[in-house]
Amino acid sequence: MKNRFVFFLLGLALVCAWNPAEAGARPDKGKDIFGHLATGWLMPEGDFGTVTDDDWSLNGGVLYWPEDWAIGLNFDLAYSKSDLKRSVVNAINQQLMGMGAGSITGGHAEIWGLNANGVWGPDTNGPIGFYLTAGVGLDYVQGKITDNGLVYYPPICDPWLWWCIPGGVGPGTIVVLSEDTTEFSWNAGVGVTFELSSGSQIFVEARYETIETSPRETEYIPVVVGYRW
């Protein structure tokens, strides 16, 4: 885990300490099920971070938290796509050229994650709160290496108007290598909530996530801003 995650945790702790008497992690809306959507920045860590760049992350799901429960249950689906670092592409090309095997132009890793988390945080019905979260998931990871070349584009026709865009051959992206796997994962993180007058929340959350891929684990930190209603 890199220092930037530690600094983020310290920043969240300072926000919570600024007004600890007004903490409210659970939305105050008189119901038990809350939807959410979030987007933010994904920071690859460990070996994964040596080969891919930071990029965007998206997630959405539901939080089930009855008022008389101390812990809520959060279920979400997350997606991210991280491009290969230019230095990694250059290193691969040096090896390929040495073997007389051509070259590549890029690549990326996509992650679809389905997570189930417990959520705990003090609830005193105030506008600012914090929470801790941890859980497990099932993640689909796909890595691709690509090259530019000539590809065939099929014609596209409108089934009602009988109007077509003709197909043909033109420049495009070719997948030269693709690998995928589905593995279990675990995560842990913290968040800060800001309650709106409607009872909905804006939240900022950071998780440390690890997917049990082989031979090396896939580690990353998504830092997201979301809306919970």
pLDDT of res. 4: 52
pLDDT of res. 150: 66
Residue ranges of the chain with pLDDT lower than 50?
Answer: 1-2, 6, 10, 12-13, 15-23
pLDDT of res. 99: 73
Question: What domains can be seen in the chain, in order of their start residue?
Answer: 3-228 (2.40.160.20)
How do residues 196-217 score in pLDDT, each as one tens digit?
A: 988 899 999 999 999 999 989 9
pLDDT of res. 23: 40
How do residues 126-171 score in pLDDT, each as one tens digit?
A: 788 899 999 999 999 999 988 877 667 777 887 776 778 777 777 7
DSSP 180-200: EEEEEEEEEEEEEEEE-TTS-
Closest CA to 128 of 14, 221, 8, 34: 14
pTM: 0.79
Q: CB of 62 within 8 A of CB of 33?
A: yes
pLDDT of res. 18: 47
The CA distance from 107 to 165, in Å, is: 29
Mean pLDDT of the chain: 85
The CA distance from 99 to 104, in Å, is: 13
* Residue pointed to by tokens 């890029």: 106
